[in-house]
Structure 1
Amino acid sequence: MKKKIAGSLIVLVLGLLSMLIYTVQVMVYHSPRETGFYILQDIAFLPIQIAIGTVVLGRYLKRREIIERRKKINIVINTFFNEAGVDILKGINIFSKNYVELNERLNVHVDWNVKIFSDTVKYLKKADMQIECSYDGLIHLTELMKSKRSDLIRLLENPNLLEHDTFTDMLLSIFHVMEELIARDTFEVDNKADMEHLGKDIERALKALLIEWLEYMRHLRVEYPYLYSFMARKNPFSEEGNIAIGK
């Protein structure tokens, strides 16, 4: 309310100041006809000024705002994968029965191009993860999720992620797996129905996490080659397992 009042006062003061200047002009030069002509000329240019100020400049500022938001989102995504995402990816990926096949397809190399990333994402969207739950694996994943719980909650509270639907959906799928695991006192691996339920939740989270990881790597490949080189050498599917160049 105060901002609206302040804005109205500014408009009123500027309007009165303009009238005062025109009045002084008439009194000094004694030419009301010419003054009226210039007033109308100024008014005639108002639509053009508004068009430039609101449409052209507005679009430019909006694009800048979108770019800045994307940068903030990418910083959040980078933080997630460095602090929690890669560890969770390793912890969940062991449940896949076709673990070897996935590793071969996802062994990102420094020389990967955009087309390879696109083809791999298409493969993942259609891939059958073939999840198999084991007692030891579930125990390990539960402890891992507990250690990353605060990081996930903090990310979900970040308003910048509202602009990135797929990443938010991925976080929610991971968070759901975490809640399912923590809610159980023990894991009855002989309970087929419960293991199938957990398997579907893990499969959903794994597929979403793998796709977002690939999209993140593709973004680094295009925008930040030096970061991509490092992340490609330390990726969880690397056969070499060594980030040193030339080894």
Structure 2
Amino acid sequence: MNTDKIRLRIYLAIFTALLSLGILGFMFFENFSFVDAIYFSIVTMATVGYGDLHPQSDIGKLLALIMITGGVGTFLGVVASITDIFVNRREESLRHQKLNMVTGLFFSEMGNGLLKRLTRLDPEIERLHKILRISPKWSDADFNRANTALKGHRFATDSRRGDLPALREYLQNQATLLLRLIENPIIQEHENFTDLLRAIFHLRDELLNRSELTELIPPDRLHLEGDMVRIYKLLIFEWLRYMHYLRKNYGYLLSLAMRVNPFDPEANVIVGSK
């Protein structure tokens, strides 16, 4: 629970306690009816003061002073907390939209291409084909099931199945985009995406610092494959999250994303080609 909601609950609890104290106190000490006690307590806490009712006893007057001094601040606190919740919710929604715009740019310019290259190295890609063949009919439950299935998947890469020099060249060609992404303050708020970019940079540096990539000794090959698995796993989860976002908000973008789905062997960008 965020601090705004906690603060609102505290103010509401104090406001309710003061209101209850006033109602019971005015009924007991001033012999007000229940309705009059509620009415007078509220107008007192709101500092309206119509003057049609007023306490006669010293205890009643003291109670009214307590409700005025405590009630005004508490009431304003409730209003301010509710306002903050709505404003922060709006700002969070805008940040979320901006983040997904950046994520979409990443997958359009680089992410999908990197996924295609890494899937060629996956010895268990057939299982991912079954899990991630997304359709327009997918519901939230389908995305949740896919996410759960991915958590139980053993991610692996075999560098001997692909072309590491070509992967190195691809990552090097995307260096400018990666730098722009990691400099974007919106990205800093998304820890998983930041970890993904950091892992991609690391793999790029590992590959660039090797002159020979076609005949790696086993320990070095396993080291690089571990770096690729790190990227592969983060990338797939981020891709699935983004696809879920498109499914909820942008059907026309989802249409293209499904037609270039790297986990669908039958995917074809040409509409009606299947």
Residue 93 of structure 2, aligned match among 43, 64, 67: 67
Query: Does 2:176 correspond to 1:150?
Result: yes
Query: Does 2:156 correspond to 1:130?
Result: yes
Please state how far the C-alpha of 1:53 moved relative to its aligned partner. 5.1
For 1:244 and 1:188, the matched residues in 2 are separated by: 35
Please state how far the C-alpha of 1:228 moved relative to its aligned partner. 1.3
Look up the SS of the partner of 2:215 in the other structure: coil
For 1:129 and 1:55, the matched residues in 2 are separated by: 45
Please state how far the C-alpha of 1:182 moved relative to its aligned partner. 1.3
For 2:146 and 2:157, the matched residues in 1 are separated by: 19
- Partner letter of residue 47 of structure 1? G
Flag structure 2 segments of 5+ consecutive residues without an equivalent: 1-45, 49-67
Question: Which aligned pairs between 1:45-194 and structure 2 lie closer than 5 A?
Answer: 47=73, 50-51=76-77, 54-134=80-160, 137-187=163-213, 189-194=215-220
Q: Which moved more, 1:40-49 or 1:131-140?
A: 40-49
Residue 263 of structure 2, aligned match among 231, 237, 247: 237
**Larger RCO (CA within 8 A; separation ≥ 6):** 1
Q: Which residue is 2:248 aligned to?
A: 222
Please state how far the C-alpha of 1:108 moved relative to its aligned partner. 1.9
Equivalent residues, number: 208
Q: Is the 8 A contact 1:97 1:132 kept in 2?
A: yes
- Partner letter of residue 189 of structure 1? E
For 2:268 and 2:249, the matched residues in 1 are separated by: 24
**Structure with the higher helix share, 1 or 2:** 1
Please state how far the C-alpha of 1:58 moved relative to its aligned partner. 1.6
Flag structure 1 segments of 5+ consecutive residues without an equivalent: 1-39
For 2:155 and 2:213, the matched residues in 1 are separated by: 21
Look up the SS of the partner of 1:134 in the other structure: helix
Task: Give the 3 Å change call, closer, same or farther, for CA 190–79 of structure 1 in structure 2.
Answer: closer
Task: Give the 3 Å change call, closer, same or farther, for CA 145–162 of structure 1 in structure 2.
Answer: same
For 2:265 and 2:159, the matched residues in 1 are separated by: 25
For 2:74 and 2:178, the matched residues in 1 are separated by: 49
Q: Is the 8 A contact 1:91 1:140 kept in 2?
A: no
Please state how far the C-alpha of 1:172 moved relative to its aligned partner. 1.6
Task: Give the 3 Å change call, closer, same or farther, for CA 41–237 of structure 1 in structure 2.
Answer: closer
Look up the SS of the partner of 2:159 in the other structure: coil
Q: Is the 8 A contact 2:157 2:229 kept in 1?
A: yes
For 2:84 and 2:127, the matched residues in 1 are separated by: 49
Question: Which aligned pairs between 1:196-215 and structure 2 lie closer than 5 A?
Answer: 196-215=222-241
For 2:102 and 2:129, the matched residues in 1 are separated by: 26
- Partner letter of residue 239 of structure 1? P
Q: Which moved more, 1:136-145 or 1:197-206?
A: 136-145
- Partner letter of residue 266 of structure 2? E
**What fraction of aligned residue pairs are identical, expressed as a percent?**
32
Task: Give the 3 Å change call, closer, same or farther, for CA 158–114 of structure 1 in structure 2.
Answer: same
Please state how far the C-alpha of 1:66 moved relative to its aligned partner. 0.8
Look up the SS of the partner of 1:129 in the other structure: coil
For 1:245 and 1:135, the matched residues in 2 are separated by: 31
Please state how far the C-alpha of 1:70 moved relative to its aligned partner. 0.8
Please state how far the C-alpha of 1:162 moved relative to its aligned partner. 1.9
Look up the SS of the partner of 2:163 in the other structure: helix
RMSD value, Cα: 2.3
